[in-house]
Amino acid sequence: MKVAVSGKGGVGKTTIAAFLIKVLADRGRQVLAIDADPSPHLAMALGFQQAERIRPIVEMRDLIQERSERCGSFYRLNPKVSDLPGRFMVQKGNIKLMVLGAIQQGGAGCACADNAVLRALLNTLLLSPNEDIVLDMEAGVEHLGRGTIASVDHLLIVIQPYRGSLETAAKIQTLGRDLKIDHLEIVANQVQGPKDLDYIEGYLGERPIGVFFASDEVREAERSGMPVYDSSPGLRSSAQDLLSLLEQTK
């Protein structure tokens, strides 16, 4: 299954992506984790060392071009995850991590080329039955218009129980529907109690498919630079529940 994690800045996309990736890996699945944020943090959340050494996916453009010239359309070949060159990823156990772009300097550069490569990858990569892709996306909505994620099975929209994140979520829902993404799922993070869930339901007209409570352990782990997934059995069990629901609605 291909899952993208979206939402307003700071709502917990990377944290939730890390929990999902880790739970999938613990279930014995092969996971391709893609950090599509121009300021990537997924490596740290997952406890990968020396992630700055990973060559960004955008550099694969030349490779794709070269292969297309040599052996016809690379895209038509429906590459497998195992065909992706190792230099574009780091691997730990059954998690492979790729990063989309080089870290961009304030306001510099356009990420269109990066997104074109990612779109091609998501569209064409053929997953074997024991493989999943989890994509930690850039914050906000602007990049969604590029259609990069049109081929994912689930677009998770992470929210927190405050108005700003819900407004962004409503925009993502609209864009996701335009892209004809089958499953747009609201996932609530930093929830403190039932009132928060009532507020979310009142605003969006639906209850979140996944609920992650505010966790002191996660805060502490983040502050001390530890991988968050080891920190909180509670959030791990939220991720397990969420994945079970996603698998049912594939």
Ligand X SMILES: Nc1ncnc2c1ncn2[C@@H]1O[C@H](COP(=O)(O)OP(=O)(O)OP(=O)(O)O)[C@@H](O)[C@H]1O
Residue 160 touching Mg ion (CB under 5 A) = no
Which residue lies nearer to Mg ion by CB, 14 or 238?
14
Which residue lies nearer to ligand X by CB, 120 or 144?
144
Q: Which two tokens stand for residue 226?
A: 């530890």
Residue 6 touching ligand X (CB under 6 A) = no
Considering only 73-81, 87-95, 149-157, 207-215, which stretch makes contact with ligand X by CB under 6 A? 207-215
Q: How far is the CB of 11 from Mg ion (least distance, A)?
A: 9
Which string of x and - marks every residue 158-197 that binds ligand X (by CB under 6 A)? -------------------------------xx-------
Query: Residue from 25, 31, 37, 165 that binds ligand X (CB under 6 A)?
Result: 37
Residue 189 touching Mg ion (CB under 5 A) = no
